[in-house]
Amino acid sequence: MFDDFFIRALFAGIGIAFVTGPLGCFVVWRRLSYFGDTLAHSALLGVTMAYTFDLNIAISVFLISSVIALILIQLQKKTNLPGDALLGLLAHSSLAVGLVVIGFLTFIRFDIMGLLFGDILAVNTDDLFVIWTGGALILIVLRLIWKPLLASTVNYELAEAEGLNPDRAKAIFTILMAAVIAISIKMVGLLLITGMLIIPAAMARNISDSPQKMVLFSIIGGLLSVILGLYSSLEFNTSSGPSIIAAALILFILSLFKIKQSIKLKN
Amino acid sequence: MNSNNDILVKLNNAGFRQSEKWLVEGVSLTVEKGKIVTLIGPNGSGKSTTAKIALGIYKNIEGSVEKYTTKVGYVPQKISIDWTLPIRVYDFMLLTETIEDSAIDEALSLTGVIHLKNKNLGSLSGGEFQRVLIARAISKKPELLVLDEPVQGVDYTGEIALYELIKKISDTLNCGILLISHDLHMVMSATDYVICLNGHVCCSGSPSYVAKNNEYKALFGEKASQILTTYEHKHDHVHSDEGEIKKN
């Protein structure tokens, strides 16, 4: 069944959409899109590490992204710089360092375009295994921290006062972000991962009235984007990662009509 | 005297400092089951800070907090909710604890907002939202309720009804309440113990004791003192001048 590269790509994309859907909602709610970008940029460093020390790419990216997240938290505590400046600092410097390291690794031929924009058609069965088991783990953990995470997203002090330990939930969520980037880097590439997180969630926001519905629609939106994007990339011979994101954008634009309708209904 | 088992939260000489400025210091208080403790004081006197210390929101504090319950309901003074999150009143009721539908309906009915159950939280008026906040805090049947100006923005008749409700909840659930309010009329009729704050504890004790206190008069004026003394409440216990509770 997984002999065909297209079927493998499809299953990889579907597995990732199940994870980016719910996580993307929290990225939108907690205004973490730039944070996601930063982790994704640092993933390049993770990929070079994997090649240098012959490690699994997903694990290497996960480790580097987690380290970058930890550095960010430390910098936030120790400096007076605003959050977005620190994120920019880490994002671009880790990207630059990653590219410099690639320059030294002359013995390996890098597919830079594949790293930046993804190469889902090159997904092999090992990658599928990483995506589906990693994805399942991420979803299980997210389910466990759902209540404190959602409550502290609505209001931190309420969550803290009523004993939900929001700080722990936030720390775990940061690790989940690093994990989702690690398992999806190969599919959409480091420049487009944040798009996969945000665009389906943004689409879902337009058509939902409760957190659970938004998560559901976000997953459905991601799945449709993967399927539409992959088939159209096959049809029109376009690169697959950008095609998936473009499909997500089309769904987002369609969801804007629903907003218009509901505003009309209210009037 | 009540036995120690009734104590829900106890502050021992607690204080909180933010960037070298003391928001409040030297506060000792005890909230017991079935008792209403009220914090009064001018703006910036540390009432909300004291509540947050008691709740454990502020962690790097001076002194100590002993908390003997985890079932806590909190109505914060200010709540800024980000409307990028679609959330209905019903979802909000379930935010920190899973509660049965019947309990949700009951709490929303008690605060008079059952008709808003499926409305989006962002579409409520200030007073409606305040009623939902109270409903959420009481629906989980807490042992300790911390209410930080719970009736702000609520219309006058609603205000009276909600204070009566708070009193009733303290009796029926036998929960301890830490209340912050500016409304001396309403509060004093139901309060067991008053703490008057102004960066530190000015005076504390039974309402009538505090009303006679000179520091209280200096802070609130003669008129406020008269308000307090007019409320002589009937209870199954009396307060000594130090605010100690004696059962009849």
Per-residue pLDDT of chain A (267 residues; tens, 9 = 90+): 666 888 999 999 999 999 999 999 999 999 898 999 999 999 989 988 888 888 888 889 999 999 998 898 888 888 888 888 999 999 999 989 988 888 888 777 777 788 888 888 888 888 899 999 999 999 999 999 999 999 999 999 999 999 899 999 999 999 999 999 999 888 788 888 999 999 999 999 999 999 999 999 999 999 999 999 999 998 999 888 899 999 999 999 999 987 766 655 554
Residue B214 burial by Cβ neighbours in a 10 Å radius (0-12, 13-18, 19+): exposed
Q: B175 with B144: CB under 8 angstroms?
A: yes
- Chain A CB contacts of B67 under 8 Å are none
- Give ipTM to 2 decimals: 0.83
pLDDT exceeds 90 at position B115 = yes
pLDDT value of position A239:
87
> Dihedrals φ, ψ of B40, to 5°?
-125, 165
Residues of A in contact with B97 (CB under 8 A): 162
Cα of A211 to nearest chain B Cα, Å: 6
Residue B96 CA neighbour count, 13 Å, CB half: 28
**Beta-carbon separation of A155 and B81 below 8 A:** yes
Q: Are B204 and B171 in contact (CB under 8 A)?
A: no
Distance of residue A129 Cα from the nearest chain B Cα, in angstroms: 33
- Interface contact B96-A164, CB threshold 8 A: yes
Joined together, the tokens standing for residue B227 give 């308000």
Distance CA B154, CA B223 (A): 24
Identify the closest residue of chain A to B120 by CA–CA distance: A209
**Chain B environment of A151 (Cβ under 8 Å):** 95-96
How does DSSP classify residue B68? Answer: -
Distance from CA of B85 to the nearest CA of A (A): 6
Q: If you count residue pairs, one on A and one on B, with CB atoms under 8 Å apart, how many are there?
A: 73
Residue A85, exposed/middle/buried by CB under 10 A (0-12, 13-18, 19+)?
exposed
CA nearest neighbour of A177 among A34, A2, A7, A14: A34
- Residue among A151, A163, A214 whose CB faces B86 most closely: A214
d(CA B69, CA B71): 6
| Structure confidence at residue B238 (pLDDT) | 52
Interface contact flag, B96 A31, Cβ < 8 Å: no
- 8 A C-beta contact, residue A251 and residue A201: no
- Tell me which chain A residues have a C-beta less than 8 angstroms from the C-beta of B120: 209
User: What would the two tokens of residue B232 be?
Assistant: 């002589």
Per-residue pLDDT for B81 more than 60?
Answer: yes
Structure tokens at A82: 């605003």
Q: Please indicate, yes or no, if residue A218 is contained in any of the structural domains.
A: no
Res A214: pLDDT: 96
Q: Determine the pLDDT at residue B233.
A: 43
Q: Tell whether A157 is covered by a domain.
A: yes
Binning pLDDT at 50, 70 and 90, where does residue B1 land?
very low
Q: How far is B97 from chain A (nearest CA, A)?
A: 8
The DSSP bridge partners found for residue B36 are B177
Q: Is A128 exposed, middle or buried (0-12, 13-18, 19+ CB in 10 A)?
A: middle
Q: Is the CB of A162 less than 8 angstroms away from the CB of B73?
A: yes
Residues of A in contact with B73 (CB under 8 A): 162
Q: What is the CATH number of the domain that holds A74?
A: 1.10.3470.10
Residue A259 contacts B, CB cutoff 8 Å: no
Closest residue in A to B136 (Cα) is A158
Q: Do B188 and B209 form a contact (C-beta atoms < 8 A)?
A: no
* Closest Cβ–Cβ partner in B72, B79, B88 for A210: B88
- Largest alpha-carbon pair distance within chain B? 54
Q: What distance lies between CA B101 and its chain's CA centroid?
A: 26
Burial B141-156, CB ≥16 within 10 A → b, else e: bbbbbbbbbbbbebee
Lowest mean per-residue pLDDT among A6-15, A89-98, B70-79, B223-232: B223-232
Q: What is the CATH number of domain B4-71+145-156+175-247?
A: 3.40.50.300
DSSP bridge pairs for B246:
B238
Domain that holds residue A37: 5-191
3-state secondary structure (DSSP) of residue B238: strand
Predicted confidence (pLDDT) at residue B133 exceeds the cutoff of 90:
yes
Q: Is pLDDT of B171 > 70?
A: yes
What is the DSSP-derived secondary structure letter of residue B173? S
Domain ranges of chain B: 4-71+145-156+175-247
Query: Per-residue pLDDT averaged across B185-209, rounded?
Result: 83
Helix, strand, coil percentages, rounded to 5, for chain B: 35, 25, 35
Q: Select the residue from A146, A154, A206 to test the B interface by mutation, using most B Cβ atoms within 10 A.
A: A154
> Is-contact A49 A265, C-beta < 8 A?
no
The number of distinct structural domains making up chain A is 1
Looking at CA atoms only, how far is residue A153 from chain B in angstroms? Answer: 8
Amino acid B2: pLDDT: 46
d(CA B83, CA B122): 7
Handedness of CA A30, A34, A38, A40 (dihedral sign): positive
Asked if B227 and B210 touch (Cβ cutoff 8 Å), the reply is no
Show residues of chain B in contact with A159, CB under 8 Å.
95-96
Q: Which residues of B touch A212 (CB under 8 A)?
A: 91
Nearest-CA distance A144 → chain B (Å) = 13
Give B17 or B81, the one with higher predicted confidence. B17
Measuring CA to CA, which residue among A212, A218, A213, A178 is closest to residue A197?
A: A218
The reply to whether A107 falls in a domain is: yes
pLDDT at B237: 52
Task: Give me the pLDDT at residue A78, please.
Answer: 87
Residue A236 falls inside a structural domain: no
How far is A208 from A84, CA to CA, in rounded Å? 29
Q: B73: nearest CA in chain A?
A: A162
Whether A136 is covered by a domain: the verdict is yes
Q: What angle do CA B75, B79, B81 make, to 5 degrees?
A: 130
